[in-house]
Amino acid sequence: MRTPATDRSRHRVLVVEDDDTIGRHLQTGLRSNAYAVTWSRTGIAALTEAAHSPYDVLLLDLGLPDMDGLDIARALRTRHPDLLIIILTARTDDIDVIAGLDAGADDYLVKPFSLTVLLARLRAHLRRRAATSPPQDPIRLADLVLDTTARRCLLHEEEVPLRPKEFDLLAVLAQHTGEAIPRETLMAEVWDENWFGSTKTLDVTMASLRRRLTQAATASTQHARLPRITTLRGHGYRLER
Ligand code: CA
């Protein structure tokens, strides 16, 4: 399934690599693990791309035809302090590793590297970033208030009891109110980035989430209004305020 450029629920990765085989390998591997990937083959192309679109992760080869990757790391670190920069390099000397980290990289992998190790490092870095990101304001949806920092779901001040996955599912939809979220993205965000199994779990969790919200609204003495969760057949779901 193609990922629309506006799909903000996936992590966006800019791959900068002039080697066709490695670039294609990275692109395929990352896409099948629910990352949104753009691949630039030159330094200039990468800088242009990064200036026009926001990225979460930069996977950077150092030996590029037009520029030294270290200069790209320095430039993008200054402009985008939150960007996760991982250097992919065939240079193994300590001095090169130190230069890479000093240029602003968060991590490095020596070629040839294994895709599974790269994916594990990405998960670890992104998890740490999510844990240290500032608390988010509660999201108000009709009469429902979703506080992802406190992990509370309130309807007219009354707690709606949700199971952890039901809460996570509602949180992903709420953070992208009005957007169509593909099933694959929900599976990746709520369950596991490496999920390849049945997506029946998603339907079961969605059904129980809807049931719990409806029960809470019915029990409310103040005629509480709920946000609408629309099923998009063959695609996914969309939450509307
Ligand atoms: Ca290269």
- Give distance in angstroms: CA of 24 to centre of ligand 1: 13
- Give distance in angstroms: CA of 69 to centre of ligand 1: 9
- Give distance in angstroms: CA of 16 to centre of ligand 1: 9
- Give distance in angstroms: CA of 124 to centre of ligand 1: 25
Q: What is the pLDDT of residue 175?
A: 86
Give tens-digit pLDDT for 15-63: 999 999 999 999 999 999 989 999 999 999 999 999 888 899 999 999 9
**Amino acid type, 92:** T
Q: What Cα–Cα distance (Å) separates residue 162 from each residue in 54, 192, 210?
A: 33, 19, 10
Q: What is the pLDDT of residue 1?
A: 36
Tokens matching residue 168: 């996570």
From first CA to last CA, the distance across the chain in angstroms is 27
- Give distance in angstroms: CA of 39 to centre of ligand 1: 13
* The dihedral sign for the CA sequence 197, 194, 191, 171: negative
Claim: this prediction has a pTM higher than 0.85: no
Residue bearing the bigger pLDDT, 129 or 178: 178
Give tens-digit pLDDT for 127-146: 888 777 667 789 999 999 99
- Give distance in angstroms: CA of 34 to centre of ligand 1: 25
- Give distance in angstroms: CA of 9 to centre of ligand 1: 30
| CATH tag, 139-239 | 1.10.10.10
Give tens-digit pLDDT for 215-227: 999 998 888 899 9
Range with the lowest mean pLDDT among 98-107, 117-126, 162-171, 184-193?
A: 184-193
Q: What is the pLDDT of residue 198?
A: 65
Give tens-digit pLDDT for 150-175: 899 999 989 999 998 899 999 999 98
Residue bearing the bigger pLDDT, 88 or 194: 88
Pick the closest to residue 170 from 216, 133, 127 (CA basis): 216
- Give distance in angstroms: CA of 17 to centre of ligand 1: 6
- Give distance in angstroms: CA of 27 to centre of ligand 1: 15
- Give distance in angstroms: CA of 104 to centre of ligand 1: 19
CA angle 114, 6, 24 (to 5 degrees): 25
Domain ranges of the chain: 8-132, 139-239
**Domain with residues 8-132, CATH architecture:** 3-Layer(aba) Sandwich (3.40)
- Give distance in angstroms: CA of 113 to centre of ligand 1: 14
pLDDT at 3 over 60: no
Give tens-digit pLDDT for 186-217: 887 787 655 556 678 899 999 999 999 999 99
